[in-house]
Structure 1
Amino acid sequence: MEETYLDVPALAKLLGTTERFPRRLVAERRIRYLKAGTHVRFPASAVEEFLAANTVEPIRPRRRMRRAA
C-alpha cells in the first residue's frame, strides 16, 4: 500500500483554494476520501480522478462557411 495521502490544507494548497473548498467537496460527496477518527485524508489517486473528471477541454472553433454572392 504505497498510496500517498493529502490532508485538507495540503489539498487546498494544491488546488489553489481555501480550506473551505475541500471540506465542501467532502460534504457534497464529490471526492473520494478517507476518514480516520476526526481526520480527513485524500488519496492522491482520488485527487487525480477528481481533476480528470472535472477538466473541461477547449473546443475547436468551427470554420465559417462563406456564402456565395
Structure 2
Amino acid sequence: MQQFLDTKEAARHVRLSPATLERLRVRGGGPAYINPIPSRVIYDVTDLDVWMWSRRRKSTSETEAV
C-alpha cells in the first residue's frame, strides 16, 4: 500500500466520498493532511487510520472517543 494518498484514494480508504473528505478539510474535524504545494493535497495512511480509530464509539450517546 502507498504511504501517501490523494483525496480520492484517501476517501476510499476511510469509506467516505471525496466530497465529504473535502468538506471535512474545509470545516475541520477531518484527518490531518499534507499540502506540499497550493494545488495538491495528500494524506498519510497513518493519519487516516489514527483519525478513524479516534472516531470509535461504543454507543450512539457517546460524544467523546473511547
Note the C-alpha offset of 1:32: 0.8
Gaps of 5+ in 1: 59-69
Deviations 1:18-62 (A, max 9, x none): 21111112112322110021110111111011001101125xxxx
More helix by share: 2
TM-score scaled by length of structure 1: 0.67
Query: Whose radius of gyration is greater, 1 or 2?
Result: 1
Aligned residues: 56
Q: CA RMSD of the aligned region, Å? A: 1.8
Q: Which runs of 4+ in 1 moved over 6 A?
A: none
1:10 is matched with 9
TM-score scaled by length of structure 2: 0.70
Percent of matched pairs sharing the same residue: 12
Gaps of 5+ in 2: 60-66
